[in-house]
Structure 1
């Protein structure tokens, strides 16, 4: 063996000998907040040694078990036979103003999300001679006059004339509804495997915050007890956030479809005309503007890459998943 080769072997052996278990833990802990070069400088270890320790630990590779848990079911072909010609919603006399009622009917057609019906509705708007923004004002005046003092009466007419935006939302909601059915069938609102995991992990915790939040330390401790399902990388964190976001979107599309469109079509009944709707909802149980369920997900922050802790991007959706069942019951 040549002198340079012997010197290199001896150096490697010495480096290997002076890396204790405590140093290994320190390297992995520092790596969660610092770059490889910074870790090497802090620990006074060679950069190559730091890279080797981090790579062999496996703590900074994507967690496939975590990905499997937070993956939506695959899309399957639907066996449901849809009607070849969608049925038109019935025409109703709402305000007594024929043109305003005509627009309300066209909006109900557009809200179905059926492209064929939407095209017919958009053609029908061309037959209305009065500008839509003028009809929106007439509709707003009707709501205010028939619901004196109601704080949301005028708000429910906002966007009344913007049929293009309504069509865009309706088509997307219809697409999400079909996707939800293709992925979950009749089990879309049932607890998923990920939600069951979160419910089990947080069972017994009591809210401590002013907004009914859980103590972050207690939440982290519960999830840390199952390290095999924790995110290892920023990619894992983003993947799980995407899961919660898409699950919400699929469920909310079905929920809004079941309750009707709340963007500009809320019809507030005059006092005494019908039994009072539930608090925060318009006629027929349709939520009034500003009372839509909040999206339950966190934000990726600068210190989010900490595989040994359940922190910012994961805490909030996981900590709220345990009461999904109660929340869905309130909104259905």
Structure 2
């Protein structure tokens, strides 16, 4: 067992306390119109298990490890009590940008989704320029391609978008080798590259740092196995970090906020304001930005909200079966107690 591994509570304890919710999105985001999540209440407070539906059980089990860690284990001490967050702009038409940004009260940074399937680079440019117009010259803009561009496409896109004064470009290409080569090609532009999928979906989350393929790490508590493990990855990588969400409910966002609060250094606004993207959440009020920040604190779901946003019996059973399979994966791992 590693120092990061949390002992597994009995499975019956998890199953009996599980609440499965389905939250409607204001705007389709990452191909999702309704976000489902399984919530658990442990001795340490409420926690969330919400790997995306397409992830296999082995990958999803790491998310369950984070869920158990946050709900059942002591967390690292906080060195700050509020986290500055960015606005998140989905792949919407440029004319929708003002409406989106207006929901993120006081945010001085915006992350803009680009490279959406079915859209063009011209769509991306129009959206990013609309964000720049709304935020003015002092606003910070970062773009996120989710690894959708090949090397040449990414190089071209960076040059086209360079006049928008980008803070950084997140996961422009899928592979570590491509990121390293792109970083070499565009180094003279002084636009940093941030790695997300190359950290959270990698068998070796430190490979991107060793390869010199990124300037910044984008880290997410659930996919990396929890607050304590994610913090250790940042320490070992030796790169600045941005803590982001995986389209979490307010419960999951509180886990991300705990991670951001525990990092010794936090130079960038974090992607933890995404409750704004939901038409409804599990907390009343939800963990939304106020004056550009969210508090680093535990949250407790509202009983009426849990009831109103409960998933269908069929989806609840799907999540309970997934929970059981992922629990079995954790039990079988050599670094897990049993």
The TM-score normalised by the length of structure 2 is: 0.23
Structure of greater relative contact order (alpha carbons < 8 Å, 6+ residues apart): 2
